[in-house]
A = this chain, B = another copy of it.
Amino acid sequence: MARPRSAGYDEQREQILAAAAALFALRGYTATTMNGVAAACGVSKPTLYHYVRDKHDLLAQIARGHVQRLEALVSEVDAAGLAPEARLRELISRFMAAYAGARNEHRVLTEDVRFLEPAARSEVLDGQRRVVDAFASTIGGLRPDLEADALAKPLAMLVFGMMNWTFTWWRSDGAVDSSALAAMVQQLLTGGLPAVQAARGSAGAALRRNAAVDAGVPDVGRRTVPER
Residues of A whose CB lies within 8 Å of any CB of B are: 26-31, 85, 89, 110-111, 114-115, 150-151, 154-155, 157-158, 160-166, 168-170, 175-177, 179-181, 183-197, 199-203, 224-226, 228
Contact = CB atoms under 8 A, between A and B. Distances in A.
Given A158-B185, A195-B188, A196-B191, A224 B179 contact: yes
B192 A226 contact: no
Contacts of A27: 30, 114
A188 B29 CA distance: 35
A170 to B, nearest CB: 8
A224 B181 CA distance: 9
Given A28-B28, A150-B176, A184 B164 contact: no
Q: How many copies does the complex hold?
A: 2
A29 B164 CA distance: 21
A176 B202 contact: yes
A192 B183 contact: no
A224 B180 contact: yes
Contact of A176 (B165, B180, B186, B199): B199
A151 B157 CA distance: 23
18 contacts: A28-B28, A28-B30, A30-B30, A111-B111, A150-B175, A151-B176, A154-B176, A154-B184, A157-B165, A160-B165, A162-B162, A175-B201, A180-B202, A187-B195, A188-B192, A189-B192, A190-B195, A192-B195
A180 B189 CA distance: 17
B199 A195 contact: no
Contact of A158 (B157, B165, B224, B228): B165
Given A162-B158, A165-B165, A192-B188, A201 B183 contact: no
- Nearest 9 Cβ contacts at the A-B interface: A191-B195, A161-B165, A192-B192, A188-B192, A183-B224, A191-B192, A30-B30, A180-B199, A30-B31
A185 B163 CA distance: 14
Nearest to A181: B154
A201 B180 contact: yes
A140 to B, nearest CB: 15
